[in-house]
Amino acid sequence: MESWGTTLLLLFFANLLVLGVSSTQDHDKHFLECLIDQFQSSNADPSNVVYNPNNASYASLLLAPNLRPESTSPLRPLLIVTPYYEHEIRAVIYCSKKLGTQMRVRSGGHDYEGLSYISGIPFVILDMRNFRSASINTKDKTAWVEVGMTLGQLYHTIARHSKTLAFTAGVCPTVGLGGHISGGGYGMMSRKHSIAADHIIDAKVMNADGHIVDRRSMGEDLFWAIRGGGGTSFGIVLAFKLQLVTIPETVTVFKVSRTSEQNATSLVHKWQYIADRIDQNILLRLFLRSITSPIHGNRTIHATFTTLYLGRAHDLLPIMQEKFPELGLVQEDCIEMSWIESALYFAGLRNESLDILLSRTPTGIFARNYLKGKSDYVRQPIPVTGLRGMWRFLHEEDEHMAELQFSPYGGALNDYSESETPFAHRAGFIFMIHYAVTWNSSGNSELERHMNWIRRFYSYMAPYVSKNPRAAYFNYRDLDLGTNNEGNTSYAQASVWGLKYFGNNFNRLVRVKTKVDPSNFFRNEQSIPPLSL
């Protein structure tokens, strides 16, 4: 039955092509022909790596880990290519340039606005999932890792080699290294070890001419740009060399929740005065939700203090009792475990086998849903009146579907100047706010309701957060901050969002872009424009 259906479909498309009815179909065909030519000229076999819409696995490959809040149904890619070899990537670049077809690069596919797999104009996806080898050198504490690897796969691999080595990066195990590291990479060890991009010591990048460059041959400008400025604008990152960090064999974690009735508001208020200053071995992340109270039946705020301490519980307790006695942390709240077990714990996968870190399918708290996120940075503690207004927004949204995360800065994040890497959010920032709302139905009215909520919330926050620019985190990409006019972005237009993500580093990113990709081949709705445009 199915093959009969497919045959009919193929006949249908063949007719369209013969009659020349659809130029899109022509485009598909030309791209495929070009690609097959290119593959054959290097004796490569496209049958395992090139997926067209008629291939059975095309649809499941296209599925993204989080759904983009999009009201109109987006275009589907002409092809999805999942290369194993560098010359296969070169072929995609060649045909994409020759035919003027957009190319989107995807490593883990977690882009907040889906820019790695969605485009408004005909495009192909270069999906790096098969570039996922790693070689760990425990002696000099480094690792060469390919970009299609996920954070979970990286953590699992490091832990197999050593109990005292780790890498500092994000929490969600299915996030890909390609997007994550090139855009920054904040995680539970960031107060001790800063962000992922600060620990990149070499990289392999394919440029628009199909040449592969490393740190020495790419020069320090480009090497600087891909450590926080995003990979998208500059080339295809193939691999990173990581400087691993040393960790104790035993770490301590806890998650302690307090409701409004349990003084959550004053605890959150107090948290702002200690979270960025406390011992750098402690990262006290705060999650806020509005949940129906079993006692009063109305909604109440749950503040969950989620913590990693790089050490033993008996050393953590006295620090907490001295710096944050109001929280009332007790021995029973603390759980000692290995760092790799803490990776499971923070992903909400406690008690699962470690091998779940190898899966590319988001589960549990990261399961697939519509998601809209935004970010802000805080320089001055938010007063209690401001916090109460934030709680009112949380109470408005569907229960369990809206969440705030407060991620503390300070510590090692301040060891780097604002211009050392493109990631400019250093000394002076107490914490980052992440706003998120998720929902599960595709209707337009749902979309509008949630987008409207998060935008109103964001505008309410203006007096309490950083200004001129109002800073934002590039990895929490937000197209509300401004977008490029496809292929025609002026410096002035792009600087609206560029200064928010990168501060004054935006100007240097533009200079690097102008030098390495003056024709703007590598682009999307929020890529760095070259100066000539």
Ligand X SMILES: *[C@@H]1O[C@H](CO)[C@@H](O)[C@H](O)[C@H]1NC(C)=O
Ligand Y SMILES: Cc1cc2nc3c(=O)[nH]c(=O)nc-3n(C[C@H](O)[C@H](O)[C@H](O)COP(=O)(O)OP(=O)(O)OC[C@H]3O[C@@H](n4cnc5c(N)ncnc54)[C@H](O)[C@@H]3O)c2cc1C
Chain residues binding ligand Y by CB under 6 A are 66, 104-112, 115-116, 128, 147, 170-172, 175-176, 178-180, 182-187, 230-232, 236-237, 366, 475, 524
SS3 for 253? Answer: strand
Q: Is 7 in the site for ligand X (CB under 6 A)?
A: no
Distance, in Å, from the CA atom of 133 to the CA atom of 275, rounded to the nearest integer, reads: 37
Q: How far apart are CA 517 and CA 513, in angstroms?
A: 5
Shortest CB 14 distance to ligand Y, Å: 33
- Is 138 an interacting residue with respect to ligand X (CB under 6 A)? no
Nearer to ligand X, 416 or 431 (CB): 431
Identify what 246 binds: ligand Y, ligand X, none; CB under 5 to 8 Å per kind. Answer: none
Token pair in block for residue 171: 């929490």
Amino acid found at 118: I
Site string for ligand X, 385-404 (x = CB under 6 A): -------------x--x---
Q: Which residue from 68, 87, 141, 270 is in contact with ligand X, where contact means CB under 6 A?
A: 270
CB of 517 to ligand X, least distance (A): 18
Q: Least Å distance between CB 21 and ligand Y?
A: 32
Closer to ligand Y by CB, 34 or 195: give it: 195
For CA atoms 379, 382, 387, 388, the dihedral sign is: negative
In whole angstroms, what is the distance from residue 375 CA to residue 477 CA? 9
CB-nearer residue toward ligand X: 177 or 303 = 303
Which of the residues 117, 345, 476, 501 is marked catalytic?
Answer: 476
Radius of gyration (C-alpha) of the chain in whole angstroms: 24
Q: Is 48 in the site for ligand X (CB under 6 A)?
A: yes
Report d(CA 454, CA 337) in Å as an integer.
37
Question: Is 299 an interacting residue with respect to ligand X (CB under 6 A)?
Answer: yes
Residue 326 contact among ligand X, ligand Y, none, beta carbon within 5 to 8 Å by kind:
ligand X
Distance, in Å, from the CA atom of 150 to the CA atom of 167, rounded to the nearest integer, reads 13
Minimum distance from residue 409 beta carbon to ligand Y (Å): 12
**CB closer to ligand X out of 306 and 421:** 306
Shortest Å, Cβ 331 to ligand Y:
28
DSSP lists the bridge partners of residue 137 as 142
Does the footprint of ligand X cover residue 40 (CB under 6 A)? no
Contact of residue 232 among ligand X, ligand Y, none (CB under 5-8 Å per partner type): ligand Y
Distance of closest approach, residue 32 Cβ to ligand Y, in angstroms: 22
Residue 12's SS3 state is helix
> Binding of ligand X at residue 455 (CB under 6 A)?
no
**162: burial class by Cβ within 10 Å (0-12, 13-18, 19+)?**
middle
Q: How far apart are CA 408 and CA 375, in angstroms?
A: 13
Q: Is 476 a catalytic residue?
A: yes
Span near ligand X by CB under 6 A; candidates 49-57, 102-110, 219-227, 426-434: 49-57
d(CA 166, CA 158): 6
Nearer to ligand Y, 239 or 387 (CB): 239
Exactly one of 263, 363, 419, 514 binds ligand X (CB under 6 A); that residue is 263
| Nearest residue (CB) to ligand X, 417 versus 490 | 490
Gap between the terminal Cα atoms of the chain: 52
Q: How far is CA 141 from CA 137, 204, 223, 479, in A?
A: 6, 19, 21, 38
> Any contact of residue 321 with ligand X (CB under 6 A)?
no
CB of 351 to ligand X, least distance (A): 4
Cα separation of 516 and 234, whole Å? 7
Output 185 or 469, the one with its CB closest to ligand Y: 185
Contact between residue 304 and residue 333 where contact means Cβ atoms under 8 Å apart = no
Which x/- pattern over 322-361 shows residues binding ligand X (rule: CB under 6 A)?
A: ----x-----------------------xx----------
- Minimal distance, residue 249 CB to ligand X, in Å: 20
Q: For residues 48 and 246, which CB has a smaller minimum distance to ligand X in the complex? A: 48
Separation between Cα atoms, residue 477 and residue 439, nearest integer Å: 18
Q: Which two tokens stand for residue 52?
A: 């067209």
Total site size for ligand X, rule CB under 6 A: 23
Neighbours of 258 (CB within 10 A): 20
- Partner whose footprint covers residue 276, from ligand Y, ligand X, none (CB < 5 to 8 Å by kind): none
- Which helix (H) or strand (E) element contains residue 245? strand 245-246
Indicate the burial class of 355 (C-beta count within 10 angstroms; 0-12, 13-18, 19 or more): exposed
Distance CA 268, CA 270 (A): 5
Neighbours of 18 (CB within 10 A): 8
Residue with the two structure tokens 């490593």: 107
User: Where in the sequence numbering do the catalytic residues fall?
Assistant: 476
The contact set with ligand X (CB under 6 A) reads 47-48, 50-52, 54-55, 260, 263, 266, 270, 296, 298-300, 326, 350-351, 398, 401, 440, 488, 490
